[in-house]
Chains A and B, each alone.
Chain A
Amino acid sequence: MRNATYVKMALNMLLHSKLRSWLTIIGIVIGVGAVVGIISLGDSMEAQVQSSLADMDLTKITITPGYSGAQSRMPGPGGGGSGSDSSSTDSELTDDDVDALQGIDGVLYIDTQISGSEEVDYAGETATLSIAGVDPQVWQYMNTLEVESGRLLEPADNNVAVIGSSVATEIFDQEIGVNQVITVNDKSVRVVGVLEEEGGSEDRKVYMPLDSAVDLIEDAEEDVFDSIVVKVEDEDLVDPTIEEIEERLMISRQIHQEKDRDFSVSSSLSMAESVTEMTSSMTLFLGAIAAVSLLVGAVGIANTMFTSVLEKTKEIGTMKAIGAKNRDILLIFIVNSAMVGFVGGVFGVMLGGFVSTLFPYMGITLMKGAGSSSSSLSPDLMVFGLGLAILIGVVSGAVPAYRASKLKPVDALRYE
């Protein structure tokens, strides 16, 4: 029997199959859709992580007050300068701590920061924005931020601000330009720089010199910081420096036991690592769920094929009587189940593509800048999804098809 004939017979079977067998295709559709969608999600998350890592400064170490084991191991992705409101502790970071950190090998700069959410008025509108007070002596050397217009903060600055791109162009109806004056907590602040678009929360921030910010931010005190940021020369120095910092702060804060510890040290490097780790373990976890749904789909197809072989017993007998060999029957059924898989795969890939376009709306934007990456399926992934579906069709159809091929013609013909 020719290959074309197998395809013809299998297609004929497929086109005449009952609604019930079409329903079991749904299992494969969902399974393939889930796998394809999750792989595409994983890919786009990884791409996001990679791109954020690419422009992330991995030589920064951030010290925050308060300590919990979990926090230091897995800092929130918002890190890098935002305050620690996660731990209920009244410990503070002060000038003394900064002094204790002086003179560590490989440390380039130490920045002290405070932060808060305050009302900002501009041209009659009010918005609550995150205000960061930074050390104007070192801040400009410690970050990778670039100005769109104007300049970064300088040591002599007072009552000025550098604003994120969203603050400048989106939040207020009227665009804020350099040298415009905004009002923060009823105090006038002149804008000296507008940052380039970064994507994410950075764009909605207002940076000010520490001294000015202390006056504006409620609860802020002189020489008390929400975070201390240390920049080292090289990524390799991050881990030893963290150890050194922890040692020194334990001594200067007179903490003798780990359980009394009241500060946390984290680095953008370890954060990046843990985010990568989290992303991949999440992909793996979701992938496992998808694999289960694929398995369910495979069982569904196998079940349908068994039923279909049973229903077609007499036809199989007839075909054998008029000259079909076991191999002919085997291949007709295998090709048929491959086709079932293929159809399931086509719809599955479509479903996967559809679902992956929904990710941005489902808040699965772990990393900043996720909104901008379009998550359409790659051709490779589509081919993979289809191939997977066909493979599952063939595998789950193999046993029923083998059974069909081994039916004895007499028995098959007697079957009613």
Chain B
Amino acid sequence: MLMEIADTLRTKLDPRKTLNSLRGDADSSNSLTGSGPGYDSGNDPRNDSEPELHKERTDNSDTIKSSRNGKAPLIKLTDVWKIYQMGEVEFAALKGIDLEIYEGEFVVVLGPSGSGKSTLMNLLGCLDVPSQGTVSLNSRDISRMEESELAQIRGQMIGFIFQSFNLIPTLNTLENVTLPLEFQEEEPSRARERAEYLLDVVGLSDKHKNLPSQLSGGQRQRVAIARSLAVDPPVLLADEPTGNLDSKTGDYILEFLDELRRKEGKTIIIVTHDLTPVQYATRVVHIKDGEIEKIEEVEGNYCKL
């Protein structure tokens, strides 16, 4: 099913039309990326049967404000500050951010350069902890967690897509996509199958052996997307994903992410200074000087700007 989407994207059809034509049978398959060789989510923190998580969830159940179809937010930031110490001077890159992100949202964080977008993304992606305030993921407070726990969460919950792709230059395409699975100790043959499948999805099945340097920018970002999907994480975080791409390839990437949200129910968060991604957003968070200026809720599928 995801393959079909990929095919149509590749033939440069309007993805919106493709979506309509695919919508009918979308229901018959509930997880598209999961329909390929799957990632074994046995020790997945999302799994409700995990005792610790379950306990925490029931403990907090009263305090969680139900919203968005009565669901608790996937990621919740409460009065988050990030203060950088630069010698004697302190610099607040984020000043009291409150933000809730729900499953299946396409959130675009929009702001000029230096406004604290990347800092925010690092917190959303558990790459960093706030100086003040709390960040919780699935109602678990990650603000005081050990690096090893954070690594675990990142490895299973979050797929990263970077502006400069950040592929490992000495690993070929297939190895790059397999890498996150290796960190999760996935069985090698299954990891390989999964990676091959994902490269197929992004239309690079003939580039398994290529090193990143032997690919175009658009191809590299597709590899990066395949890599971000390797462990089938619920959240995809992208920091200026189209910043280094021409607008046509940029559109392809954005459409692909949009498809992932629609078909897979992935939560997509894009951080950017560029207006292009906004058209796919379900919500736009405007950020300036480390503060949220306004949040635009978008009625329907697309934001009309």
A interface residues, Cβ below 8 angstroms from B: 1-2, 4-5, 12-13, 15-16, 314-315, 317-328, 408-410, 413
Query: Is A321 a contact partner of B185 (Cβ separation < 8 A)?
Result: no
Residues of B within 8 A of A12 (CB): 170-171, 175
Query: Is A323 a contact partner of B125 (Cβ separation < 8 A)?
Result: no
Residues of B within 8 A of A408 (CB): 128
Query: Is A325 a contact partner of B152 (Cβ separation < 8 A)?
Result: yes
The CA-CA distance from A312 to B151 in the complex, in Å, is: 19
A312 → chain B, closest Cβ, in Å?
A: 9
Residues of B within 8 A of A322 (CB): 154-155, 160, 179-180, 183, 227-228
Query: Is B151 a contact partner of A1 (Cβ separation < 8 A)?
Result: no
Query: Is A323 a contact partner of B156 (Cβ separation < 8 A)?
Result: yes
Which residue on chain B has the smallest CB distance to residue A6?
B182
Nearest first, the 8 A-B pairs at minimum CB distance are: A323-B155, A323-B183, A16-B170, A318-B166, A322-B180, A325-B151, A410-B128, A409-B127
Number of B interface residues at 8 Å Cβ cutoff, please give it.
30
A369 → chain B, closest Cβ, in Å?
A: 54
Residues of B within 8 A of A320 (CB): 127, 151, 154
B interface residues, Cβ below 8 angstroms from A: 122, 125, 127-128, 147-148, 151-152, 154-156, 160, 162, 166-171, 175, 179-180, 182-185, 188, 227-228, 231
Residues of A within 8 A of B170 (CB): 12-13, 15-16
The CA-CA distance from A314 to B212 in the complex, in Å, is: 15
Residues of A within 8 A of B162 (CB): 318, 413
CB<8 Å pairs between A and B, sample of 6: A1-B185, A4-B188, A320-B127, A322-B228, A323-B151, A324-B183
Residues of A within 8 A of B179 (CB): 319, 322
Apart from A323-B156, A324-B155, A413-B122, what are 8 other A-B pairs with CB-CB below 8 Å? A16-B170, A321-B160, A321-B166, A322-B155, A322-B183, A323-B151, A323-B231, A325-B148
B233 → chain A, closest Cβ, in Å?
A: 10
The CA-CA distance from A5 to B127 in the complex, in Å, is: 23
The CA-CA distance from A410 to B154 in the complex, in Å, is: 13
Residues of B within 8 A of A319 (CB): 168, 179, 183
Which residue on chain A has the smallest CB distance to residue B148?
A325
State which of B128, B183, B188 has its C-beta within 8 Å of the C-beta of A325.
B183
Which residue on chain B has the smallest CB distance to residue A318?
B166
The CA-CA distance from A327 to B183 in the complex, in Å, is: 11
B105 → chain A, closest Cβ, in Å?
A: 21
Residues of A within 8 A of B155 (CB): 322-324
Which residue on chain A has the smallest CB distance to residue B153?
A323
State which of A5, A321, A327 has its C-beta within 8 Å of the C-beta of B182.
A5
The CA-CA distance from A2 to B182 in the complex, in Å, is: 7
